Each structure stands twice: as structure tokens, then as C-alpha cells.
Chain A
Amino acid sequence: MKRPQLEHIVFGYVFMEVRGSNIQALLLDMQQKGVVLHDVFVKGDRGTVGVCLRDFDAFYPACRKHGVKLRFTSRSGMPFFIRKLRRRKAMLVGIALFFVALYGLGNVIWQVDVSGVEDDSRQLVIQAARELGVYPGSWKSKVPEPDVIQSRLLKKLPNLMWVGVQMDGSKVRIEAVPKVPDVQPLNKTPHDVIAGKPGVIRRVFANRGTVMVKPGQVVHPGDVVISGNLAGGTKWVPADGQVFAEVWYNTRITIPLQVNQSALTGNHVERDYLTLGGLNLRFWGWQQPDYQATYERDETSDWKLGGLTLPVQWKQVTLYEVSPAQVKQSEDDAARNALALAAQDVRGQMRGDGEILEQTVLHREVQHGKLYETILTKTDENIGVAASS
């Protein structure tokens, strides 16, 4: 039930065995002098006494006076601990090293976070920050002030509207706001609307200008559809409107009826290597799977020390089992796919909104295990283009 008191921890505490016929007199003497004793146990002319190290200078002469012999059984508290530490230099060095490492590692930037921009811009921001000296592993003291980084980043990346840099301990947060591209001003110079593609006019909606064509009329690229000429040449305006015409597209499609496809079965084994220069030391993963075909994926760590890539890296290799599979499709399926592909192709060529009116297979042939098709697609789309003149 001995509870160490704060005084004993700070100033030290010694516990002794005492021997002598005058123990009672010693105790009385100490009590009268006001020296605090602890855990006094006396039996005959033997006993134990505990005393605070601070009071020992008063205790010891009294022992001599009363002819009491002492034997120390335990010492505790800070003074003894410090003396022990002095003897163990390595431990002191270790403690010092710990604090040095803690302080040193606390002064390193461990993470750079970029938020507010798309992935591709994020890479640019990270790259720009790296050029300014802000990257994981750089010293905080070498990094300029956040507002300096902000202005330099803005200068480096003209497509950003605003950049905010915040240092959070060992973490740097960069928040970027990209510029929104501004709206193109309307073309104010007088011009015509001409046909951009050959087609048969279906409907013309003119907002401004004189309509020069009739539904059913065939137009060729460059033909004026809506003229900017008003009132017989007295006034020229920028013509504007939508010209819907039927446009024909020819698409050639080739679809193989049989495809060799290798698929991952989901089975995989992992291997961990420690790479030393060019040497791979396998550390984990000794399983030898009996896969017929494998696909290997490596993932090597990027261990760095202050910007230098270490020669020692950890490599994780994953071997996936691959099962070769043949994907067959019937001629009908292939033809259906061909139509879908043709529609997709045509939609890519249409500008703006428009719709596919009709698809006709002009030619179909199966040769060398492939389906060849020529498909005519009729669309209804806006073919009007503002002429540059």
C-alpha cells in the first residue's frame, strides 16, 4: 500500500534497514527535530525506516550519534533516476535522437492536397507546386510563405482564377479555382448562313435574314441558305437561323464474327520483392500456381529521402490467371451491331442536335470470317453554317 508521494519522486526516497539498540531514541530524536519518517517498522533492535533524500543529511548524523547501523534496501525518485541515466549514455542519446527525429520529421511536408480542379489540372498544379519547392518530402523551412506560393502558382498557371494555399502542420492544402471560359460574343458583322453539308432541305427557321431555299431543294456545301441581304441589297445584316436538311451518310463497317478474348478469371497470387538496385529479393508469396496463362502487374513503391529516390524499394507483383475465351456472334447479331455502330458513327459527324431518320443496308458480305457492310444513314440535322464573309 505504499503510495509514492510527489515529494519522494522529485527529491528522492531511500528505504533502509536499521540495526542497533538505540532505535527508539533515534526515532524520538527525529520526531522532535521534525524529520518526517515513513514506513517505520521496529522489532527488537532491528527495523526499517524510509526517509526523503532531502532529510537524509539530518538523519544520518543522528544515526551515527545513536550508534544505529544502516543498510539501504531501495532507492527511488528522480535523483537516482538521473544518476542511472548518466551511466547509460546510449539511452540518453536515444531519447535525444527521438526528439530530434520528431522535430525533424515534423518540419517536413508529408502531403500536398489539391482540391477544386479536375484531375488533369490537378497534376499541373502539383507539378507547378513541385517546381516551387512544395512537394512531399521537402523541408518546411525552404518553402516560401503561403501567399508567395499563391501568387507564384497563379503566375505559373494562367488557367486558374484563384489559388489558396494553406499549411496544416505537415500537410499543404492547395485550393484552386479554374477560370470558366467566357461566352463567345455574337458575330455582329453582316454575313449569310450557308449549307455546311450536301442535303435536301426539309425545314428552314430563319431568325434574321432572307430564306433563299425551299423545302425539297438540294443544296451543296457553300450554297447560301439564309441571306443577310435584306430588301434587295439595301441592308446587310448578320443572318441567323436553323436549316434542317436530310443528309445521307455512307458508312463502311467491318465486324469479325469470332474474337479471341482473354479474360481474367479472378484468381491471383501476390509476390512481394525488396529490390536493391537491380536485384529482386522475394520476401513474401511463395505460391506456385498452375495457371495456363498469366497476366502480371507490378507495383513498385516510390520511397524517397529528401528528393532522392532510394535504391531500396518494395515491389509487389500480382499474377492474374488468364483464361483465353472465344467470343462468337452470329451473322444476325453482327448485322445488328453494325447498324448500331453506323448510327454511332453518324451521330459523331452530326453537329448539334439532329436525328437519324432511316438506315439502309446497301451491301452485305461475309468473307474471311468477317462481316462487311455498307450502310446508308439518312439524318435530319441542322446544316446551316455562318459564312465567314
Chain B
Amino acid sequence: MRTWKQRVRRAATEWLSLPPDALLDVSRLTCLDGGQVIVENIHSLLRVADTAVEIDLGNSILLLQGEGFVVTLVAEREVHVRGVVGQISYLPKKEGQR
């Protein structure tokens, strides 16, 4: 259920034709040449392994699969990942997880 605040923001974004990530609280994923991934506006870093990185984006879970993943930066709202990216998938959030 969207709150009234979110509705106003969405409307403002559309009316001012701003990119949606400027005002809306949505995540943003930048993938550079399949070798470097920058994810902004995340909720939490769920799992880090050399073949997979799992990130909670709030309303969904981002799963990066590939090889030799190194998380070059972990900050409160941002994650940088380096490695060979094979697959980027958005998974629906499981019940019971925030």
C-alpha cells in the first residue's frame, strides 16, 4: 500500500520529468562492461561469496551471479562489486523478510 507521501513524490517526478531515482526511494544499478557493478540506495548486503552477491533493495532482492566477486566498497547505502558478472536477477522478496 503506497503512502500519500510516495504518491506525491511520484507525481512530482512525473510532472517535472526527473529521472525516477532523484526523488523516489528506488535503487539504482550501474553495470560497467560486465566487470563492475555499482548498486546505490540499497537496504542491506545479505550475502557475499566469490560466485554470488545478494543485496536487499527493500522491495526486492538483487542477486548477482558470476565469478571472482570482490566487493570493493560497502557503505551504508551503496555497494561496489568487481568481478565477472554472469547474471543479474531480481528476486521477489520472501515472506517474513523485511
Contacts and interface: CB of A to CB of B under 8 A. Distances in A.
Given A39-B70, A41-B50, A43-B50, A34 B44 contact: no
A36 B75 CA distance: 5
Contacts of B71: 37, 39-41
A355 B46 CA distance: 116
Contacts of A30: 74
Given A1-B82, A41-B69, A31 B48 contact: no
A32 B47 CA distance: 13
Interface in B32-82: 44-50, 69-76, 82
Chain A contact residues, majority secondary structure? mixed
Contact of B48 (A1, A27, A32): A27
A137 to B, nearest CB: 58
Nearest to B79: A31
Interface residues of B, number: 16
A38 B76 contact: no
A288 B45 CA distance: 83
Interface string A1-29: 10000000000000000000001100110
A28 B45 contact: yes
A184 B8 CA distance: 105
A42 interface: yes
B54 to A, nearest CB: 9
B50 A34 contact: no
Contacts of B44: 28, 31-32
10 contacts: A1-B82, A24-B47, A36-B73, A36-B75, A37-B71, A37-B73, A38-B72, A38-B74, A41-B71, A47-B48
Interface of B: 44-50, 69-76, 82
